[in-house]
């Protein structure tokens, strides 16, 4: 597999936001400033709560098919390879990992079968789009920790996706879950979210390496990153962490992460988190406490890493 030098683009964008010149300019700047070869296009939809069985992927606020396809073509025009990543969020604000149902169907209760029926329709739709636009990779799910145990349903879903998409498929498992997936053999590439504490990065990489060697599949981090706020390097997965802005905190984490990755040859790339379709003014970068890389010291660190790898 070609080494993936990527950043996730456009997370939480709403309908119409990818049609703007501002969004296109943002993607152009991402390629120019960070030396990426791939971009992850994040298309986000919602379900109402963690026990809802209907995924509202056709809502009027969701990015239109036309603008997603146009952004793929624009990325290709910039010379980028595209990883299409449809994602489910929860309207109540809960994390998608907590989507869960009884292991065995119970009358009058929501069921895994109902959820996977809706989820499969959602993923097949974007799988068709990935095929139509010749996207170079397709992500069938992200951090759905409680759903991970439903091996039969995932294998069925993957078969359905392969009916409509001919490129490589990956599943983005959550941090610490790399060794818990029992159906890695059904996908082409293993990927995970690498939000590990700054002092545990090498330890976690060594653990993941054993899983990758056992499965015999390529691996990359479909997500990885750290917020620019005090304390974030110790809890990079906590997007709700309270703290003052700190670009140095993010930089320290990235220095450790990139150095760690450089020592482990099994890591065949990363898609760092993240880059907005609507950028803040660059002079405001010092005030930003989010994961965004634009205009921060970490941006330069990653650019240099990508240029030299």
pLDDT for 133 equals 98
CA distance 43 to 277: 12
DSSP 8-class letter at 76? H
- pTM beyond cutoff 0.95: yes
pLDDT for 122 equals 98
ω into residue 274 within 30 of 0, thus cis? yes
Q: In the numeric block, which tokens belong to residue 44?
A: 């986000």
pLDDT for 6 equals 98
pLDDT for 127 equals 98
pLDDT for 250 equals 98
Contact 210, 238 (CB under 8 A): no
Residue ranges of domains in the chain, CATH in brackets: 4-225+267-280+297-307 (3.20.20.80)
Burial class (CB within 10 angstroms; exposed 0-12, middle 13-18, buried 19+) of 93: exposed
pLDDT for 17 equals 98
**Which segments in the chain show pLDDT lower than 50?**
none
CA distance 167 to 79: 18
């Amino acid at each position: 597999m070609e080494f993936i030098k990527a950043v996730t683009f456009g997370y939480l964008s709403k309908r119409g936001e990818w049609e703007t010149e501002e969004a296109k300019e943002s993607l152009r700047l991402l390629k120019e400033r960070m030396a990426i070869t791939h971009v992850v296009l994040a298309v986000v939809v919602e379900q109402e709560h963690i026990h809802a069985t209907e995924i509202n992927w056709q809502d009027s606020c969701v990015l239109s098919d036309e603008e997603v396809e146009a952004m793929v073509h624009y990325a290709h025009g910039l010379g980028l390879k595209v990883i299409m990543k449809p994602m489910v969020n929860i309207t109540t604000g809960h994390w998608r990992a907590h989507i869960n149902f009884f292991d065995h169907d119970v009358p009058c209760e929501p069921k895994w079968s109902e959820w996977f029926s809706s989820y499969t329709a959602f993923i097949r739709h974007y799988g068709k789009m990935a095929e139509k636009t010749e996207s170079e990779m397709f992500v069938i799910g992200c951090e759905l920790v409680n759903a991970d145990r439903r091996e039969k349903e995932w294998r069925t879903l993957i078969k359905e996706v392969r009916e409509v998409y001919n490129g490589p498929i990956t599943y983005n498992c959550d941090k610490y879950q790399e060794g818990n997936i029992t159906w890695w053999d059904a996908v082409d590439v293993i990927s995970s979210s690498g939000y590990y504490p700054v002092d545990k990065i090498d330890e976690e990489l060594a653990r993941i390496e054993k899983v990758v060697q056992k499965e015999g599949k390529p691996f990359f981090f479909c997500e990885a990153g750290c917020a620019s706020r005090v304390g974030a390097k110790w809890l990079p997965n906590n997007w709700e962490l309270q703290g003052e802005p700190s670009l140095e905190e993010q930089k320290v984490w990235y220095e450790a992460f990139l150095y760690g990755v450089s020592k482990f040859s099994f890591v065949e790339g990363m898609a760092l988190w993240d880059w907005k379709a609507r950028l803040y003014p660059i002079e405001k970068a010092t005030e930003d406490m989010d994961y965004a890389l634009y205009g921060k010291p970490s941006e330069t660190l990653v650019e240099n890493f990508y240029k030299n790898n």
